Chain A
Amino acid sequence: DGGITQSPKYLFRKEGQNVTLSCEQNLNHDAMYWYRQDPGQGLRLIYYSQIVNDFQKGDIAEGYSVSREKKESFPLTVTSAQKNPTAFYLCASSINRINGYTFGSGTRLTVV
């Protein structure tokens, strides 16, 4: 079955360490997105990529970095520069001729 996979589901890191969240899709979707969700809050866009080897900053890109070397993969690195990294991170993908996004099941990052 096609889908979008985020791993791991739960991630713990010490303050000051960089951490990379994985997002892989086998839907042949062109575009991929990273969102951050804090408790009781909506979805805030971190980065998005509409094509391989190209990506754009979203609304809250500071302290994050991404790469898009393959169509299927869009990893997100949470760097030590991100002041408040503990959150629920969601990856999504979309294809131009179909409306809406398909979301992964999320990664909950806790920094202690």
Chain B
Amino acid sequence: GQQLNQSPQSMFIQEGEDVSMNCTSSSIFNTWLWYKQDPGEGPVLLIALYKAGELTSNGRLTAQFGITRKDSFLNISASIPSDVGIYFCAGQYTSGSRLTFGEGTQLTVNP
């Protein structure tokens, strides 16, 4: 099945650093979603983006829906140890259609 290109695959950072990850696709999407998966748990929705160019924040997290509708990025500012986990992007063409997931970015934060 189709996959999104998500990068980087993994990141090792120090507490307090900012983090940036992104997803690109050959297809356009009308919705971009960012999920976080804590170790041993299911993914939880962090941010949903519905419009090209949209920039949305959720606390220390900021995500943007690319103008071309083929990409999105997620920034985390001032990282803390509980930010550890796998971050997934997902694209959705219409409400109710299947999500296409990226491969995930494994984030490790050293105290």
Does A70 make an interface contact (CB < 8 A)?
A: no
Nearest B residue to A56, CB-CB: B98
Residues in B with CB closer than 8 Å to A97 are 95-96
Judge whether B88 and A43 touch: CB under 8 Å: yes
The residue in chain A whose Cβ has the minimal distance to the Cβ of B50 is A99
Q: Are B104 and A42 in contact (CB under 8 A)?
A: yes
Contacts A40-B106, A105-B41, A106-B42 hold; do A100 and B98 have CB atoms under 8 A apart?
no
Asked if A74 is at the interface of the complex by the 8 Å CB criterion, the answer is: no
Does the CB pair B41–A100 fall under 8 Å? no
Q: When the two chains form the complex, which single residue of A42, A94, A102 contacts B88, counting CB atoms closer than 8 Å?
A: A42
Q: Tally chain B residues at the interface, Cβ within 8 Å.
A: 25
Q: Is A21 an interface residue (CB 8 A)?
A: no
Contact A103 B31 (CB under 8 A): no
Residues on A with C-beta less than 8 A from B99 are 100-101
Chain B residues in 8 Å Cβ range of A68:
none
Whole-angstrom distance between the alpha carbons of A94 and B90 in the complex? 14
A 96-112 to B, binary, CB cutoff 8 A, 1 in contact else 0:
11111111111010000
Please report which residues of chain A, range 26-60, place their CB below 8 angstroms from some CB of chain B when the two chains form the complex: 30-31, 33, 40-43, 45, 48, 58-59
Q: 8 closest Cβ contacts across the A-B interface? A: A103-B42, A96-B96, A42-B103, A59-B1, A99-B31, A105-B42, A43-B101, A100-B33
Residues of chain A whose beta carbon lies under 8 Å from any beta carbon of chain B: 6, 30-31, 33, 40-43, 45, 48, 58-59, 88, 90, 92, 94-106, 108
